[in-house]
Chains A and B, each alone.
Chain A
Amino acid sequence: MSKADSISLFESRIIRRAAWDSIAKLNPVTLMRNPVIFVTEIVSALVTAAGIEALLKHQPAAFPLIIAAWLWLTVIFATFAEAVAEGRGRARAETLRHARSDTMAKLLTNPPNRALYKPTPAPDLHQGDIVLVEAGDIIPSDGEVIEGVASVNESAVTGESAPVVREAGGDRSAVTGGTQLVSDWLVVCITADAGSTFLDRMISLVEGAERRKTPNEIALNILLAGLTLVFLIAVVTLVGFGAYSGTKFSIPVLAALLVCLIPTTIGGLLSAIGIAGMDRLVRFNVVATSGRAVEAAGDVDALLLDKTGTITFGNRMASAFYPAAGVQEHELAQACAMASLGDDTPEGRSILVLAREKYNITPERPADAEIIPFSANTRMSGVDNAGQSYRKGAVDSVLKALNTEGDNAFAEAATRIGRAGSTPLAVSANGRLLGLIELKDIVKPGIKERFAALRGMGIRTVMVTGDNRVTAAAIAAEAGVDDYIAEATPQNKLDYIRKVQSEGRLVAMCGDGTNDAPALAQADVGVAMQTGTQAAREAGNMVDLDSDPTKLIEIVEIGKQLLITRGALTTFSIANDISKYFAILPAIFVGTYPQLGALNIMHLHSPESAILSAVIFNALIIVVLVPLALKGVKFRAIGAAALLKRNLLIYGLGGIIAPFAGIKLIDLALGLF
Chain B
Amino acid sequence: MTIQGIAYIALVFLLVLGAAFPLGRYLAAIFEGRVRFLRPLEAGFYRLAGVDETRAMGWQAYAVALLLLSVIHFALLYAILRLQYYLPFNPQHIAGMSPRLAFNTAASFATNTNWQAYVPEAQISNGAQMFGLAVHMFLSAAAGIAAAAAVMRAFASGAAKTLGNFYADLTRITLYLLLPVTIVAAVLLVLAGCPQTFSAFITAHTLQGDTQSIAIGPVALQEAIKELGTNGGGFFNANSAHPFENPNAWTNLFENWLLLVIGFALPIAFGHMVKNPRQGRALMAAMAIILALGCVGTYAAEASGNPLQTAIGVAHQGGNWEGKEVRFGIPASTTFNVSATGTSTGAVDSFTDSYMPLAGAIPLFLMQLGEVTPGGVGSGFYTIIVFALFSVFVAGLMVGRTPEYLGKKVQAKEIKLAMLGVLILTLFILAGAGFSLVTKSGLTSLANAGPHGLTEMLYAWTSATENNGSAFAGLSADTNLLDYGLGAAMLFGRFAFMVPVLAIAGSLAAKPRLPESAGTFPTTGPLFIGLLIGVIIILGGLQFLPADTLGPLAEHFLLQAGKTF
Which of A240, A455, A504, A575 contacts B512 (CB under 8 A)? A504
Give per-residue flags for B64-77: 1 if the beta carbon is below 8 A from chain A beta carbons, else 0: 00000000000000
> B13 within 8 Å of A by Cβ?
no
Which of A223, A641, A652 contacts B531 (CB under 8 A)? A652
> A148 within 8 Å of B by Cβ?
no
* Measured CA separation A81–B422 after assembly (Å): 30
Given known contacts A241-B546, A299-B401, is B454 in contact with A570 (CB within 8 Å)? no
Q: Are the CB atoms of B558 and A230 closer together than 8 Å?
A: no
Given known contacts A563-B401, A596-B553, is B546 in contact with A238 (CB within 8 Å)? yes
A179 to chain B, nearest CB (A): 36
With a cutoff of 8 Å between Cβ atoms, the chain B residues found around residue A560 in the complex are: 400-401
Given known contacts A242-B550, A585-B549, is B434 in contact with A643 (CB within 8 Å)? no
B169 to chain A, nearest CB (A): 27
With a cutoff of 8 Å between Cβ atoms, the chain A residues found around residue B396 in the complex are: 567
> B311 within 8 Å of A by Cβ?
no
> A95 within 8 Å of B by Cβ?
no
Q: Are the CB atoms of A234 and B400 closer together than 8 Å?
A: no
Q: Are the CB atoms of B400 and A563 closer together than 8 Å?
A: yes
Q: Are the CB atoms of B520 and A595 closer together than 8 Å?
A: no
Give per-residue flags for A580-622: 1 if the beta carbon is below 8 A from chain B beta carbons, else 0: 0100010001001101101100000000000000000000000
Stretch with Cβ within 8 A of B (4 or more), from A339-347, A393-401, A456-464: A456-464
| Residues 391-435 of B contacting A (Cβ, < 8 Å) | 393-403, 407, 410-412, 414-416, 419-420, 422-423, 426-427, 430-431, 433-435
Q: Are the CB atoms of B397 and A301 closer together than 8 Å?
A: no
> A135 within 8 Å of B by Cβ?
no
* Measured CA separation A192–B448 after assembly (Å): 77
The winner among A229, A238, A245, A645 for most chain B CB atoms within 10 A is: A245
* Measured CA separation A648–B529 after assembly (Å): 12
With a cutoff of 8 Å between Cβ atoms, the chain A residues found around residue B520 in the complex are: 458, 640
Q: Are the CB atoms of A571 and B546 closer together than 8 Å?
A: no
* Measured CA separation A225–B458 after assembly (Å): 25
* Measured CA separation A568–B397 after assembly (Å): 8
> A635 within 8 Å of B by Cβ?
yes
* Measured CA separation A60–B419 after assembly (Å): 40
With a cutoff of 8 Å between Cβ atoms, the chain A residues found around residue B419 in the complex are: 222-223, 225-227
> A151 within 8 Å of B by Cβ?
no
Q: Are the CB atoms of A456 and B521 closer together than 8 Å?
A: no
The winner among B403, B430, B433 for most chain A CB atoms within 10 A is: B430
> B527 within 8 Å of A by Cβ?
yes
Q: Are the CB atoms of A577 and B397 closer together than 8 Å?
A: no
Given known contacts A237-B434, A564-B399, A648-B527, is B538 in contact with A577 (CB within 8 Å)? yes
> A651 within 8 Å of B by Cβ?
yes
With a cutoff of 8 Å between Cβ atoms, the chain B residues found around residue A648 in the complex are: 395, 398, 527, 531
> B513 within 8 Å of A by Cβ?
yes
With a cutoff of 8 Å between Cβ atoms, the chain A residues found around residue B515 in the complex are: 503-505
Q: Are the CB atoms of B518 and A640 closer together than 8 Å?
A: yes
Which of A233, A241, A592, A641 contacts B543 (CB under 8 A)? A233
A229 closest partner in B (C-beta): B423
A231 closest partner in B (C-beta): B543
With a cutoff of 8 Å between Cβ atoms, the chain B residues found around residue A226 in the complex are: 415-416, 419-420, 422-423
Given known contacts A245-B454, A652-B531, is B394 in contact with A570 (CB within 8 Å)? yes
Q: Are the CB atoms of B395 and A644 closer together than 8 Å?
A: yes
> B35 within 8 Å of A by Cβ?
no
> A295 within 8 Å of B by Cβ?
yes
* Measured CA separation A648–B533 after assembly (Å): 13
* Measured CA separation A215–B414 after assembly (Å): 12
> A534 within 8 Å of B by Cβ?
no
* Measured CA separation A240–B443 after assembly (Å): 12
* Measured CA separation A652–B438 after assembly (Å): 38
With a cutoff of 8 Å between Cβ atoms, the chain A residues found around residue B550 in the complex are: 241-242, 244-245, 247, 589, 592-593
Q: Are the CB atoms of A244 and B437 closer together than 8 Å?
A: yes
Q: Are the CB atoms of B521 and A223 closer together than 8 Å?
A: no
* Measured CA separation A589–B454 after assembly (Å): 14
With a cutoff of 8 Å between Cβ atoms, the chain B residues found around residue A230 in the complex are: 422-423, 426, 543
> B557 within 8 Å of A by Cβ?
yes
A214 closest partner in B (C-beta): B402
Which of A233, A563, A574, A639 contacts B402 (CB under 8 A)? A563
Q: Are the CB atoms of A643 and B394 closer together than 8 Å?
A: no
Q: Are the CB atoms of A298 and B557 closer together than 8 Å?
A: no
Q: Are the CB atoms of B399 and A640 closer together than 8 Å?
A: yes
> B547 within 8 Å of A by Cβ?
yes
> A561 within 8 Å of B by Cβ?
yes
Given known contacts A243-B437, A577-B538, is B546 in contact with A643 (CB within 8 Å)? no
A295 closest partner in B (C-beta): B402
A581 closest partner in B (C-beta): B545
Interface residue range, chain B: 35 or more
B245 to chain A, nearest CB (A): 34
> A566 within 8 Å of B by Cβ?
yes
Q: Are the CB atoms of B394 and A567 closer together than 8 Å?
A: yes
Which of B399, B422, B437, B543 contacts A240 (CB under 8 A)? B437
Which of A222, A229, A245, A564 contacts B451 (CB under 8 A)? A245
B525 closest partner in A (C-beta): A641
A646 to chain B, nearest CB (A): 9
| Residues 526-551 of B contacting A (Cβ, < 8 Å) | 527, 531, 534, 538-539, 542-547, 549-551
> B554 within 8 Å of A by Cβ?
yes
With a cutoff of 8 Å between Cβ atoms, the chain B residues found around residue A574 in the complex are: 394, 538-539
* Measured CA separation A659–B132 after assembly (Å): 54
> A105 within 8 Å of B by Cβ?
no
Q: Are the CB atoms of B545 and A457 closer together than 8 Å?
A: no
* Measured CA separation A219–B396 after assembly (Å): 13
A643 to chain B, nearest CB (A): 5
A558 to chain B, nearest CB (A): 10
> B49 within 8 Å of A by Cβ?
no
> A216 within 8 Å of B by Cβ?
yes
* Measured CA separation A237–B465 after assembly (Å): 16
> B158 within 8 Å of A by Cβ?
yes
Q: Are the CB atoms of A640 and B519 closer together than 8 Å?
A: yes
Give per-residue flags for B443-465: 1 if the beta carbon is below 8 A from chain A beta carbons, else 0: 10000001101100010000000
> A23 within 8 Å of B by Cβ?
no
> A239 within 8 Å of B by Cβ?
yes
B1 to chain A, nearest CB (A): 22
Give per-residue flags for B503-529: 1 if the beta carbon is below 8 A from chain A beta carbons, else 0: 000000000111101111110010100
Q: Are the CB atoms of B557 and A222 closer together than 8 Å?
A: no
Q: Are the CB atoms of B395 and A571 closer together than 8 Å?
A: yes
Which of B397, B431, B433, B557 contacts A566 (CB under 8 A)? B397
> B561 within 8 Å of A by Cβ?
yes
Q: Are the CB atoms of A457 and B422 closer together than 8 Å?
A: no
Q: Are the CB atoms of B521 and A644 closer together than 8 Å?
A: yes
B419 closest partner in A (C-beta): A226
Q: Are the CB atoms of A644 and B398 closer together than 8 Å?
A: yes
> B560 within 8 Å of A by Cβ?
yes
With a cutoff of 8 Å between Cβ atoms, the chain B residues found around residue A504 in the complex are: 158, 407, 512-515
The winner among A222, A241, A577, A599 for most chain B CB atoms within 10 A is: A241
Given known contacts A230-B543, A245-B550, A504-B515, is B434 in contact with A240 (CB within 8 Å)? yes
B357 to chain A, nearest CB (A): 11
Question: Given A575-B534, A640-B521, 19 more contacts at CB 8 Å?
Answer: A216-B402, A218-B412, A223-B419, A233-B430, A237-B431, A237-B434, A239-B434, A240-B433, A241-B546, A245-B554, A455-B518, A563-B402, A567-B398, A577-B538, A592-B550, A635-B400, A640-B519, A644-B399, A648-B531
- For this complex, 18 residue pairs linking A to B, each with C-beta atoms less than 8 Å apart, are A215-B411, A219-B393, A234-B546, A455-B518, A457-B519, A566-B397, A568-B397, A571-B395, A575-B538, A577-B538, A581-B546, A593-B451, A595-B560, A639-B519, A640-B522, A641-B525, A644-B395, A645-B527
**Lowest 3 CB-CB distances: which A-B pairs, in order?**
A567-B397, A458-B519, A560-B400
Residues of chain B at the chain A interface (Cβ within 8 Å): 158, 390, 393-403, 407, 410-412, 414-416, 419-420, 422-423, 426-427, 430-431, 433-435, 437-438, 443, 450-451, 453-454, 458, 512-515, 517-522, 525, 527, 531, 534, 538-539, 542-547, 549-551, 553-554, 557-558, 560-561, 563
